[in-house]
C-alpha cells in the first residue's frame, strides 16, 4: 500500500530532521549490535577451504577427546589475550590468533572461554602468570597456566627469519592440554657427551606433546624419579662406565632407568661415530636389539655406513631422501594416521642384534622373548650403504635399511620400557619438523602417543603460508609485464573512447 | 530509476569522463600491481590492495564530483526534480551508474592477475617437495576484491552526498577527498589514543580496520554491514537533501 505524504512538515523541517536522525541512529545501533554479536559468536565465513587461521576438525576432535574430559564440572579454561580487546582486534597478527582461539572457544563454550587482560593495568596478574609481553597468550586453569609467545604461533625460515607457516591450532591445543592435566610428563635431555640439538623444533614437538623438559648431566646427577623420557641427541663422547678411575657409571644409571620402565630416545647420524666408536652407548643399545651399522673402509678403519638413495632424494648428492613406513604390524598400527613421507639426511643404518630373530609380522624378538624390536621407518629398495666411498650393501624390499626402530621391553615391574633409535639427526631438523609436507613431526608424535604419552597430538600440523617469493621472474621480464599491463588496457580504453567520441561528433 | 541509470551510463560513454576515469584507474592499478608484485618478486597482493584503497581517496572524488553538482551548475536540476521519476529513483540511478563504472573498472583491472597466476603455474612445475603453495592465495585475493568493492561503493556514496551539497565540482572533489582521507586514516590515529572507549570508537569507524578480515580470506559479515550502512546512510542523506530542495 503506497502512502502519499503531502504534508510539508513531513517533507522538510523538524519532523524530517527527526526522521533522518532516527534512521541514522537505527543504522548505527544495528551495526554496533551486529558487530558485537559477530565478535562473540564468530559470525564470519572463511573463503576457500585452506583458510590459514581456521581451526580444523582434527583440532576440535583432539580438544574434545583429550582436554575437555580433564576439566572438572563447573570449571573452565580461560585463554587470555594480554591487551585490550580493541587493540588485539586492530593488530593483524593478534586478531588472526584470536580467530583460531575463538573458534575453539565457540565449540566448547561452557569449558573454554576467551578474555582480554591488559597487562599494563594488571601487573600483578601478569607477574603471576609469567606474562612478559602484551603479545603473549596465557592459558589459565585454576592455578595452572601456560604462556605462549606470539612468535611461537609461527614457524620461521631459519635463514631469512620470515614466517613460513602458522602453527596456532597445535600450540593452542597443546597449551590447553598442558593446563588441563594435573601433571605433565617430564623429558630429560642428556648433556656433556657433545650433544648438539641444532634445532629447537624437536623440543617444540615435545612441548606440543605435553612434555616439560630439562637438561641432565648424568655424570653428576641421577635420573630423577619423574623422568618419563630420556633424550640423547647426537652424542660425540661415550657414556662413562665404572672403572678404576671413576666410580660413576652413566651406563648403569640408564640401564636401571630402563629396567624400571623408562623411555629412551636416541638420535644419531652417520657423523655421530666419526670421532670414534661409542662402545658404551652402543653396547647399551645392543641389549635392546639396536646396532648401528659399521664397516671397515679401505684403510681397515671402522666407519659408520652412510645411506644414499638417489631415486628418492631431494638433494643432488642423494644423501637426503624420503623414507617409507615399515611393513610390520607395529609400524602399521602406530603410523596409521601418518600418510606423508618422512625425510632423513646423512643417515646411517640400524642393524638388528644377531640374537634377535625375525617374526612373521616383520618385527624382531629377543631370545628370551622379553624385547620386541620393530622397524618404524625404512629405506626404499635400491638405497645404498656406503663406507669410505665404497658401496657396502644395497637395500632390497625384504631387507631395507632400518632408519628408525622402536624396542619395547617388558620389565619385571610390569611396565614397558621403550627405546626409540633414529639413525638421522636431520630427521629432527628445523626444516623437516616444521614442514607440513613431511611426516617427521607426526611420526614422533605418534611414537610418543604409543609409548606412554596417550595425549600427544598427531594430526595437528602447521599451515604454511603461500610462498610469496617469485624465484623465476627476472627484473627485465617483470618490467616488461608491468609496462604492458599498464599501457595496453589504458591505450585500448583511450582509443575506444576517441573513436566513439569522434564518430559521435561527426554524426552531430 | 532505470531511465536515469541508463542516461548516466550513456553520459559516461559519450563524454570523456568515463574513459578518463577507467583509463586512469587501469593505469594506476597496473602500475601499483606491477610494482608490488612483479618488480618486488612477490606473490603477496595485500600491499597492492592497501595502496588501491589509498588511491581511491583521489580517484573516486574524480568520479563523483560531477554527479549532482554539474546538474546544479547547469540548472538542469529543476528538470530532474520535476520529472516523473522520484527523488529516490533519481539519486539511486546516478549512484548505481557511478558504482557500475567503478565496479567495471575494478573488474577490468583483474586482468593484472592473469600474468601473476601464469608465473605461479610455471614456478609450480619446478617446486621442491617442501613447498606446498606457490602463488597468490586466491581466497585472500577474492576477499580483498570484495572488500575493495565494498569500500569503493561506500566512498561513492560519500562523494555523491557531498556533490549534492555544492554546485562547485572542485569544492565537491576536495571535500570528498578530505572526508575519505579522515575515514581511512582514523585507524592509524586510534593507536595514539590512550583512552579505551575513544580508541574503540575510532577502530570501529576505521575503514582499513574493517578491511583486515577480507585481506586474510575471511568474509566478515559485520564489515559487510558496516560498508553497506555507510553507503545507505549517505545515499539516504542525498535523498533527504534533494527532498528538502524540492519542497522548500
Chain B residues close to A8, C-beta within 8 Å: 247
Nearest to B43 among A470, A489, A490 (CB): A470
Using CA atoms in the order B57, B63, B65, B69, what is the torsion angle rounded to 10 degrees?
-160
pLDDT of residue B42: 84
Q: What Rg do the C-alpha atoms of chain A give, in angstroms?
A: 31
**Residue A144 sits at the chain B interface (C-beta within 8 Å):** no
Alpha carbon A437 to chain centroid distance?
11
d(Cα A119, Cα A82) in Å, to the nearest integer? 6
SS3 of A303, please?
strand
Cβ distance A475 to B39 less than 8 Å, yes or no, reads yes
pLDDT of residue B12: 86
pLDDT of residue B131: 44
Angle between helices B169-190 and B196-205 (to 10 degrees): 130
pLDDT of residue B13: 84
Counting as low any pLDDT under 70, the low residues of chain B are 79-81, 125-133, 247-248
Cβ distance A472 to B126 less than 8 Å, yes or no, reads yes
Burial zone of A393 (CB within 10 Å; 0-12 exposed, 13-18 middle, 19+ buried): middle
Cβ distance A12 to B244 less than 8 Å, yes or no, reads yes
Chain B residues close to A471, C-beta within 8 Å: 41, 123, 126
d(Cα B146, Cα B150) in Å, to the nearest integer? 6
Cβ neighbors of A244 (< 8 A, separation 6 or more) are: none
Cβ distance A473 to B18 less than 8 Å, yes or no, reads no
Q: How far is B1 from chain A (nearest CA, A)?
A: 17
**Residue A113 sits at the chain B interface (C-beta within 8 Å):** no
Mutate to test the interface with A, among B89, B126, B216, B219 (most CBs of A within 10 A): B216
Chain B residues close to A461, C-beta within 8 Å: none
User: Which residue reads 613447498 in cell numbers?
Assistant: B131
CB burial of A466-485 (b: ≥16 within 10 Å; e: otherwise) equals bbbebeebeeeebeebbeeb
Mutate to test the interface with B, among A438, A478, A498 (most CBs of B within 10 A): A478
CB contact at 8 A, B215 and B49? yes
SS3 of A339, please?
coil
Q: For B91-136, what is each residue's pLDDT tens digit?
A: 999 999 999 999 999 999 999 999 999 888 877 765 544 445 677 8
**Residue A430 sits at the chain B interface (C-beta within 8 Å):** no
d(Cα B135, Cα A470) in Å, to the nearest integer? 8
Mutate to test the interface with B, among A7, A34, A48 (most CBs of B within 10 A): A48
Cβ neighbors of A352 (< 8 A, separation 6 or more) are: A289, A290, A291, A358, A364, A373, A402, A405
**Is the Cα dihedral A217, A219, A220, A223 positive or negative?**
positive
Give me B4's grid cell. 536515469
Q: How far is B212 from chain A (nearest CA, A)?
A: 7
Chain A residues close to B229, C-beta within 8 Å: 27-28, 30-31
Q: Give the number of A-B residue pairs with CB atoms closer than 8 Å.
A: 216
Mutate to test the interface with A, among B145, B197, B222 (most CBs of A within 10 A): B222
**Residue A264: DSSP 8-state:** E
Burial zone of A507 (CB within 10 Å; 0-12 exposed, 13-18 middle, 19+ buried): exposed
Q: How far is B61 from chain A (nearest CA, A)?
A: 20
Report angle CA A129, A134, A138 to the nearest 5 degrees: 35
pLDDT of residue A298: 67
Q: How far is B195 from chain A (nearest CA, A)?
A: 11
Mutate to test the interface with B, among A473, A476, A480 (most CBs of B within 10 A): A473
Which residue from B minimizes the CA distance to A164? B131
Give me A311's grid cell. 631415486
CB contact at 8 A, A400 and A383? yes
Nearest to A34 among B122, B123, B222 (CB): B222
Q: What Rg do the C-alpha atoms of chain B give, in angstroms?
A: 20
Cβ neighbors of A134 (< 8 A, separation 6 or more) are: A82, A83, A87, A118, A119, A120
Cα separations in angstroms, B246 against A24, A57, A415, B85:
22, 59, 92, 13
User: Consecutive 10-residue runs of chain A (508 residues): their mean pLDDT?
Assistant: 56 76 91 86 71 80 92 93 87 86 91 91 87 91 92 81 84 93 91 82 87 91 93 90 75 92 93 81 92 76 84 85 92 87 92 91 90 95 89 91 94 89 92 80 89 78 73 77 90 89 78
Cβ neighbors of A230 (< 8 A, separation 6 or more) are: A187, A188, A190, A216, A223, A254, A257, A262, A263, A264, A265
**Is the Cα dihedral B48, B50, B52, B55 positive or negative?**
negative
Chain B residues close to A7, C-beta within 8 Å: none
Backbone angles phi, psi at B227, to 5 degrees: -65, -40
Cα separations in angstroms, A309 against A341, A396, A439:
14, 12, 18
d(Cα B134, Cα A52) in Å, to the nearest integer? 15
CB contact at 8 A, B185 and B82? no
Q: How far is A423 from chain B (nearest CA, A)?
A: 21
Cβ distance B196 to A84 less than 8 Å, yes or no, reads yes
SS3 of A352, please?
strand
pLDDT of residue B194: 78
**Residue A44 sits at the chain B interface (C-beta within 8 Å):** yes
Backbone angles phi, psi at A328, to 5 degrees: -80, 170
d(Cα A401, Cα A385) in Å, to the nearest integer? 8
Angle between helices B46-64 and B16-33 (to 10 degrees): 160
Which residue from B minimizes the CA distance to A500? B14
Q: How far is B244 from chain A (nearest CA, A)?
A: 5
Nearest to B123 among A85, A437, A471 (CB): A471
SS3 of A180, please?
helix
Report the predicted TM-score, pTM, of the whole model to 2 decimal places. Answer: 0.65
The answer, yes or no, to whether ipTM is higher than 0.95 is no
Chain A residues close to B236, C-beta within 8 Å: 20, 23-24
- Residues in A 466-485 with any Cβ partner in B closer than 8 A: 466-473, 475, 477-479, 481-483, 485
Q: How far is B227 from chain A (nearest CA, A)?
A: 10
Amino acid at each position: 500500500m503506497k502512502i502519499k505524504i503531502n504534508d510539508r512538515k513531513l517533507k522538510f523541517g523538524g519532523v524530517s530532521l527527526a526522521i533522518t536522525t532516527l534512521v541514522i541512529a537505527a543504522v548505527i545501533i544495528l551495526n554496533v549490535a551486529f558487530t558485537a554479536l559477530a565478535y562473540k559468536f564468530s559470525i564470519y565465513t572463511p573463503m576457500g577451504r585452506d583458510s590459514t587461521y581456521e581451526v580444523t576438525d582434527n583440532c576440535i576432535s583432539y580438544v574434545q577427546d583429550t582436554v575437555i574430559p580433564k576439566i572438572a564440572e563447573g570449571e573452565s579454561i580461560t585463554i587470555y589475550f594480554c591487551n585490550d580487546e580493541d587493540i588485539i582486534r586492530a593488530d593483524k597478527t593478534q586478531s588472526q590468533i584470536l580467530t583460531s582461539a575463538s573458534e575453539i572457544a565457540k565449540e566448547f563454550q561452557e569449558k573454554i572461554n576467551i578474555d582480554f587482560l591488559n597487562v599494563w593495568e594488571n601487573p600483578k596478574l601478569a607477574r603471576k602468570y609469567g606474562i612478559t609481553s602484551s603479545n603473549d597468550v596465557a592459558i589459565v586453569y585454576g592455578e595452572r597456566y601456560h604462556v605462549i609467545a606470539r612468535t611461537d604461533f609461527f614457524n620461521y625460515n631459519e635463514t631469512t627469519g620470515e614466517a613460513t607457516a602458522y602453527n596456532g591450532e597445535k600450540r593452542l591445543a597443546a597449551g590447553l592440554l598442558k593446563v588441563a592435566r594435573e601433571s605433565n610428563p617430564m623429558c630429560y635431555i642428556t648433556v656433556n657427551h657433545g650433544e648438539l640439538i641444532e634445532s629447537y623444533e624437536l623440543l617444540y614437538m615435545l612441548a606440543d606433546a605435553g612434555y616439560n623438559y630439562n637438561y641432565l648431566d648424568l655424570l653428576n646427577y641421577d635420573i630423577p624419579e619423574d623422568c618419563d623420557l630420556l633424550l640423547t641427541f647426537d652424542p660425540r663422547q661415550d657414556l662413562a662406565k665404572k672403572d678404576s678411575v671413576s666410580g660413576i657409571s652413566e651406563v648403569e644409571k640408564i640401564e636401571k632407568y630402563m629396567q624400571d620402565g623408562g623411555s629412551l630416545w636416541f638420535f644419531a647420524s652417520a657423523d655421530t661415530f666419526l670421532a670414534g666408536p661409542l662402545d658404551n652407548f652402543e653396547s647399551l643399545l645392543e641389549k635392546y636389539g639396536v646396532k648401528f651399522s659399521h664397516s671397515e673402509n679401505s684403510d681397515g678403519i671402522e666407519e659408520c655406513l652412510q645411506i644414499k638413495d638417489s631415486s628418492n632424494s631431494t638433494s643432488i648428492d642423494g644423501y637426503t631422501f624420503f623414507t617409507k613406513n615399515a611393513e610390520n604390524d607395529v609400524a602399521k598400527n602406530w603410523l596409521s594416521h601418518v600418510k606423508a613421507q618422512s625425510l632423513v639426511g646423512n643417515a646411517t643404518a640400524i642393524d638388528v642384534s644377531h640374537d634377535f630373530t625375525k617374526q612373521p609380522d616383520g618385527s624382531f624378538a629377543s631370545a628370551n622373548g622379553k624385547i620386541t624390536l620393530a622397524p618404524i621407518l625404512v629405506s626404499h629398495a635400491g638405497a645404498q650403504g656406503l663406507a669410505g666411498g665404497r658401496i657396502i650393501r644395497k637395500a632390497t624390499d625384504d631387507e631395507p635399511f632400518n632408519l628408525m626402530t622402536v624396542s619395547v621391553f617388558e620389565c619385571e615391574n610390569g611396565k614397558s620400557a621403550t627405546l626409540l633409535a633414529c639413525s638421522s639427526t636431520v630427521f629432527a631438523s628445523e626444516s623437516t619438523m616444521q614442514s607440513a609436507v613431511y611426516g617427521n613431526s607426526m611420526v614422533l608424535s605418534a611414537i610418543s602417543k604409543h609409548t606412554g604419552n596417550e595425549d600427544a597430538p598427531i594430526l595437528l600440523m602447521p599451515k604454511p603460508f603461500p610462498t610469496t617469493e617469485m624465484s623465476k621472474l627476472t627484473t627485465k621480464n617483470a618490467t616488461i609485464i608491468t609496462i604492458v599491463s599498464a599501457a595496453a588496457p589504458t591505450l585500448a580504453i583511450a582509443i575506444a573512447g576517441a573513436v566513439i567520441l569522434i564518430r559521435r561528433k561527426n554524426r552531430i | 530509476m532505470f531511465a536515469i541509470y541508463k542516461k548516466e551510463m550513456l553520459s559516461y560513454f559519450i563524454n570523456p569522463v568515463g574513459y578518463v576515469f577507467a583509463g586512469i584507474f587501469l593505469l594506476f592499478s597496473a602500475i601499483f600491481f606491477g610494482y608490488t608484485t612483479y618488480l618486488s618478486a612477490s606473490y603477496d597482493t595485500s600491499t597492492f590492495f592497501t595502496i588501491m584503497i589509498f588511491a581511491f581517496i583521489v580517484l573516486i572524488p574524480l568520479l563523483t564530483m560531477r554527479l549532482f553538482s554539474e546538474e546544479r551548475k547547469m540548472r538542469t536540476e529543476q528538470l530532474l526534480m520535476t520529472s516523473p521519476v522520484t527523488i529516490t529513483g533519481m539519486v539511486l540511478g546516478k549512484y548505481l551508474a557511478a558504482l557500475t563504472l567503478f565496479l567495471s573498472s575494478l573488474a577490468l583491472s583483474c586482468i593484472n592477475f592473469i600474468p601473476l597466476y601464469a608465473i605461479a603455474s610455471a614456478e609450480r612445475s619446478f617446486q621442491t617437495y617442501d613447498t606446498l603453495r606457490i602463488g597468490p592465495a586466491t581466497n585472500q585475493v577474492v576477499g580483498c576484491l570484495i572488500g575493495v568493492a565494498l569500500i569503493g561503493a561506500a566512498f561513492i556514496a560519500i562523494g555523491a552526498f557531498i556533490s549534492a551539497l555544492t554546485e562547485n565540482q572542485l569544492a565537491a572533489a576536495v571535500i570528498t577527498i578530505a572526508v575519505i582521507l579522515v575515514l581511512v586514516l582514523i585507524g592509524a590515529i586510534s593507536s595514539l589514543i590512550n583512552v579505551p572507549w575513544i580508541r574503540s570508537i575510532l577502530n570501529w569507524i576505521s575503514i582499513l580496520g574493517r578491511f583486515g578480515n577480507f585481506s586474510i580470506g575471511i568474509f566478515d559479515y559485520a564489515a559487510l554491514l558496516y560498508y553497506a550502512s555507510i553507503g545507505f546512510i549517505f545515499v539516504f542523506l542525498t535523498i533527504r537533501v534533494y527532498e528538502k530542495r524540492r519542497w522548500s
